[in-house]
Amino acid sequence: MNRILVIGAAGMIGRKLLQKLAQDGSLGGSQIAHATLHDLVAPQPPPKAAFQVRSAASDLSRAGEADKLVAERPSVIFHLAAVVSSEAEADFEKGYRVNLDGTRQLFEAIRKVGGGYRPRVVFTSSIAVFGAPFPEAIGDEFLSAPLTSYGTQKAMAELLLSDYTRRGFFDGIGIRLPRSACGPASPTAPPRAFSRDHSRAPQRAGSRAACFRGRASLACVAARGGRVPAPCGGAGGRAHRAAAQSHDARLSVTIAEQIAALRRVAGDAPARLIRREPDPAIMRIVKGWPRNFDAQRARELGFRADASFEEIIRIYMEEELPA
């Protein structure tokens, strides 16, 4: 019987993962008995879950918080919590405190349990660990050379994940997520989270959205209309089977192509709500993002890409917008 811990459960990825787990009722062929959901705000339990659910709200980076969560000895831990790119760049200390210190405190809490305790740890990293100059398509063995504080924090956490796994403290798996598109807003996201605004907000009743990047800006995205995004490779080169079933591989599109897709799917009215509002700080971050991948390892694990950005928008509208 599996005991599950999901850290960052209030965010889009956590919510969609929990929906999948509640639907299946099992993980890796073993029935789920209990799930603890953790975030800065108390996560909502998935509806109709056949297993027991407990929600907890606290700051993982504070001393002792990780020890409380690991004391339950969960057999699988999903570490999804992070300060995102723009916020980590704007608030240097917060980015390192949450993304690096909080991660290490979690890993240390697991190590200190001892007594043969060795859980599976699924860590969500980012394609921000890569930095220019880029090849035409980034392969699974491409060098990690981040150009942002967020990417640096994720790269350092990947090294910790690999070393703690090598030493046998847990069985760690890293999944490098691309930028999500059309995902629902997170209750813990900063006020100016820019990644999805131009794709998501115009589809809601009368919501305006800002596009902070150039229309020719190319990004590697994934979303399945709000479903969990997928890896483009990962530390250790493997993913938990449940994660592989819940994720999709990457799709690369420009901002202009995203807006054109929105117009084709939802008409001119939503697209007209997008205003161009260039932000030099955000554009500097975006210039360091990878744009295309040869995700062979992810495909071999069963991950797949969306056929088009139109498909992402349609699924988002079906799953997240009221009828």
DSSP one-letter string for 234-286: -TTS---HHHHHH--B-EEEEHHHHHHHHHHHH-HHHHHTEEE---HHHHHHH
Q: Does any domain span residue 277?
A: yes
Residues 255-272: pLDDT tens digits?
788 888 888 888 888 877
Which of 67-71, 213-217, 231-235, 244-248 has the weakest average pLDDT?
A: 231-235
How far apart, in whole angstroms, are the C-alpha atoms of residue 287 and residue 117? 42
Residue 222 lies in a domain: yes
Q: What is the phi/psi pair of residue 96, to 5°?
A: -70, -35
Mean pLDDT of all residues in the chain? 78
- Closest listed residue to residue 39, CA positions, set 10, 80, 78, 17: 10
What is the total count of domains within the chain?
1
Residue numbers of the domain that contains 219 = 2-316
Tokens of 33: 């008995």
| Rounded Cα gap, residues 306 and 311, in angstroms | 7
Residue 315 has pLDDT above 90, yes or no: no
Q: Who wins on pLDDT, 236 or 293?
A: 293
* Residue 104, pLDDT score: 97
- Closest by Cα among 197, 192, 217, 194 to 209: 197
Q: In the beta sheet, which residues pair with residue 210?
A: 275
In a domain, 101, yes or no: yes
In tens, the pLDDT along 177-208 reads 876 555 555 555 554 444 444 444 444 444 44
Average pLDDT (209-221) is 45
How far is the C-alpha of 153 from the C-alpha of 89, rounded, in Å?
11
Report the alpha-carbon angle 28-34-39, nearest 5. Answer: 100
Percent of all residues in the chain with a pLDDT value above 70, rounded to a whole number: 74
pLDDT at 12: 86
Work out the percent of the chain whose per-residue pLDDT is above 90: 43
Reported as a single tens digit per residue, the pLDDT across 132-154 is 887 878 877 888 889 999 999 99
CATH of the domain at 69: 3.40.50.720
Which residues are marked as active site? 150
Q: Look at residue 224 and tell me whether its pLDDT is greater than 50.
A: no
Residue that the structure tokens 């889009």 belong to: 12
Spatial neighbors of 242 by CB under 8 A, at least 6 apart, are 17, 20, 21, 24, 27, 28
d(CA 213, CA 287): 10
In a domain, 322, yes or no: no
Mean pLDDT of 96-103: 97
The Cα–Cα gap between 24 and 4 comes to 14
Work out whether the CA dihedral 211, 217, 223, 229 comes out positive or negative: negative
Of the candidates 146, 148, 60, the one whose C-alpha atom is nearest the C-alpha of residue 98 is 60
Provide the pLDDT for residue 187. Answer: 58
By C-alpha distance, which of 170, 182, 134 is closest to 292? 134
CB contact at 8 A, 99 and 88: yes
Q: Does the residue 323 lie in any domain?
A: no
Helix intervals (H) in the chain: 12-24, 65-70, 85-90, 92-95, 102-113, 149-166, 197-200, 241-246, 255-266, 268-272, 280-287, 296-300, 309-320
Say if 175 falls within a structural domain: yes
Rg (CA), the chain: 19
